[in-house]
Amino acid sequence: MTFYSVDPATEDVIASYPAHTHEEVDAILSRADEAQRSWARVDVTERALVIRRLGEVLVDRADEAAALISAEMGKPLSQARAEVVKCATACSYMADHATLALRDEHVATEFASSIVRREPMGLVLSIMPWNFPFWQFFRFAAPALVAGNGVLLKHAPTTMGCALLSVEICRAAGVPPDLVACVIVDVPDVERIIADRRVRAVTFTGSTLGGRAIGALAGKYVKKSVLELGGSDAYVILDDADVELAVHACIQQRFLNTGQSCIAAKRYIVHHAVADVVQQRILAELNTIELGPLARRDLKETLLDQVRRAVDEGATLYVDGEISDPAALDPGGRGFFVKAGLLVNVAPGSVADQEELFGPVASMIVVNDDREAIAVANGNAYGLGAAVFTRDQHRADTFVRELQAGSVFVNGAVRSDTRLPFGGVKDSGYGRELGMAGLMEFVNIKTVVEV
């Protein structure tokens, strides 16, 4: 089997990558396992120095990496470069804090000595998506490596060039040979890798459907797993909100990366008292947005189908500031481009409320009060992020308490931060990345007692 990288702006094939054979995968696993055992014996302070250097090399090669990201999945260059620089911040943060966080903890007991020790787990398989091909990998890899683990990268087939460049950058930074390795395999071969006794854990970022499959395999072979899955984040705009602030956040976080983000502001839940002004301001902003193409043809087709079904259910679509047929989203020509759109008159429980729309189309749902807003926000299967916009601290506190999400932002756009845990609840997954919680996901907590 051969995997192809296709430029989504032109539909031209830019590279091909033959899949590894079973024998090649076994050899990669053997080398990675040996490299990890040696790395685990390196003091954490020395490991941290390597991870700090990794951040520096990422910054040095940000332009090169950004160009490849843009070519393989269509992201505007400015956004692609920002993605790579953000990877460097994750490396710096883990380098700064790992030594203290991973130190032995002495616990007072009746024994002569009681110690809680945090040790590496071993080899961790990372199954990564195409939408943030550097960030999704390095936000996992930085804490995993500094904790003493080895990393196997199974990347999305369409961003295999990004995968190989990520491994190359790790080597250039002084990460030992084979400690970070790329396996070029198809989905059916993933089970064979998870089943291998040398692999101790798996982390997956992607769709909920894919997460269910990986979670089941991890359970079958008793492997630790972290799943960061889909989302349909609700941005609740109350009647006392700063509308300008709220609209800016909604636009920023819905259309970043052409709407291809798990924590995009996919649903605008708006109090009826401000619904008209919110709608008009959003429509005024749509034509100013910089959009690249969607990453693949099937993603474009899926989005257009979802919008067609939403309109059939009674929603109204705006494109270019006017009520439009779903076909107006497609500008035609080469490339997987889609125009920005806004669905209004969206009913709770409908397609645009229940499904994750992975592209530059937002859904607006009007509610009568806070209780209804909370019910609608919590009314689908996802629970990754949420935001509420209000000037009333008491109302904000109520939403923070009641919203079912891994992250809740007040008067601001939801975003991942290297210093803070990130992850979801419900069908958005389990486990955490980033922050100290992310560092601890792939350590073995060993209790050592001297009687």
Q: Are 313 and 373 in contact (CB under 8 A)?
A: no
Give just the sign of the alpha carbon dihedral 85, 86, 87, 90: positive
State the burial class of residue 410 (Cβ atoms within 10 Å of its Cβ: 0-12, 13-18, 19+): middle
Q: In what order do the strands lie in the sheet with 113-120?
A: 105-106, 113-120, 443-450
Instruction: Tell me if residue 262 is catalytic.
Output: yes
Q: Residue 60, Cβ neighbours under 10 Å: how many? A: 14
Give just the sign of the alpha carbon dihedral 394, 400, 403, 409: positive
Choose, from 83, 87, 182, 228, the residue flagged as catalytic.
228
The pair of structure tokens assigned to 380 is 């689908």
Give Cα separations from 288 to 85, 317, 321 (angstroms): 25, 18, 11
Give just the sign of the alpha carbon dihedral 11, 13, 19, 24: negative
Q: Are 259 and 293 in contact (CB under 8 A)?
A: no
Instruction: Tell me if residue 250 is catalytic.
Output: no
Choose, from 87, 91, 262, 356, the residue flagged as catalytic.
262
CA 261 – CA 334 distance, rounded (Å):
23
- Which amino acids are annotated catalytic? 228, 262
